[in-house]
Amino acid sequence: MALAIIDGGSTKADWYIQANDNSSPMSLTTTGFNPNYVERDKIVAILKKEAKPLLALSPPEYIIYYGAGCKGQEQVDAVKSAFSEVFPSAQTEVHTDMLAAARATCGDTPGIVAILGTGSNSMLYDGKKEMDHVTNLGFLLGDEGSGSYIGKRLVQAWFYREMPGELHYIMEKECPNGKTDLMKNIYAGGMPAAYLASFTKKYAAHTNHPFVWNLVKDCFAEFFHRHIFKYQNYRTLPIHFVGSVAYYFKKILLEFMQEEKLQTGRILQKPIEQLYLYHLNRYTEGPMPKE
């Protein structure tokens, strides 16, 4: 039976599709969505336009979707309903992006798992399920250590005249009219977190500059102190990471963890390949994983 494994973020979704003939999986990327902010009809439109045509010859019979914003039952039901409309013959499971990160990094073993991407999140995992979770307050009130959080700090540093002159050119190019451009880009684009995170990506090329290094390290420290250090056995359990911020600022992350004498686990930019292997290894006679 054809199986689709999907890691869905707020901006893009990565797919691995295993056909019936046991050939190598097909991969594709589509627009992502968060059901907290995107209506069901919009999700349906994305799937019909970007996924269905590519899967016409081998439509999935089983879909396992891991997505941002898929914790509440209302959101889970909306995503399930959208997939059922586009792929009516498929059985669909919907899980959180945190479970995706846990299965991709921990597999069946206990650990602490963190997402450091556009946003941030974490949980204590026992090898099967979530055991503890420090509340993530989202873009406006939380997301410590994330791309949007670091981007916010970089923007503040420029406007508050704390950033060294040799780093100004990125901000000057993005916001030639200063605050006017910043406010317009944040609010008019409809994706303020992603916009602020784009600054983090631009400054990643200057990771070795002491100002950037220390700013990012401070943001990571805040994430650890407010989230990771609240979990039981955080000093003895491996701490795993998923997300572009953890991946591209790996040296800074590792330095902080070594200073704190913490156990470093896996650091993945994307979980999709390991998720695919996780489910492939759990096949019985059909696509249903043995959970």
**Structural domains of the chain ordered from first start:** 3-102+271-280 (3.30.420.40), 109-268 (3.30.420.40)
Per the structure block, which two tokens stand in for 131? 């055991």
247-275 confidence digits (pLDDT tens): 999 999 999 999 999 999 999 999 999 99
pTM of the model: 0.86
What pLDDT was estimated at residue 21?
Answer: 64
Contact 217, 256 (CB under 8 A): yes
Q: Which of 102, 142, 120, 100 is CA-nearest to residue 237?
A: 102
Give CA–CA dist 180/129, Å, rounded: 46
Residue 211, amino acid = F
Flag whether pLDDT at 179 surpasses 50. Answer: yes
158-174 confidence digits (pLDDT tens): 999 999 989 999 999 98
Q: Which whole number is the average pLDDT over 49-74?
A: 89
The percent of residues above 70 in pLDDT, for the chain, comes to 95
Q: Mind giving me the DSSP string for 121-136?
A: EEEEE-SSSEEE-PPP
Per the structure block, which two tokens stand in for 104? 């991709």
108-125 confidence digits (pLDDT tens): 999 999 999 988 999 999
Q: Which whole number is the average pLDDT over 192-218?
A: 94
Residue 65 CB partners (closer than 8 Å, separation 6+)? 6, 8, 79, 83, 92, 93, 94, 95
6-26 confidence digits (pLDDT tens): 999 877 899 998 876 667 788
Angle between the N-to-C axes of helices 210-226 and 147-159, in degrees from 0 to 180, rounded to the nearest 10: 130
Flag whether pLDDT at 148 surpasses 50. Answer: yes
Question: For residue 69, what pLDDT band results from cuts at 50, 70 and 90?
Answer: confident
What pLDDT was estimated at residue 57?
Answer: 75
Contact 255, 217 (CB under 8 A): yes
Flag whether pLDDT at 183 surpasses 60. Answer: yes
What pLDDT was estimated at residue 199?
Answer: 93
What pLDDT was estimated at residue 283?
Answer: 54
Flag whether pLDDT at 67 surpasses 60. Answer: yes
What pLDDT was estimated at residue 19?
Answer: 76
* 3-state class (DSSP) for residue 30: strand
Q: Tell me the residue length of the chain.
A: 291
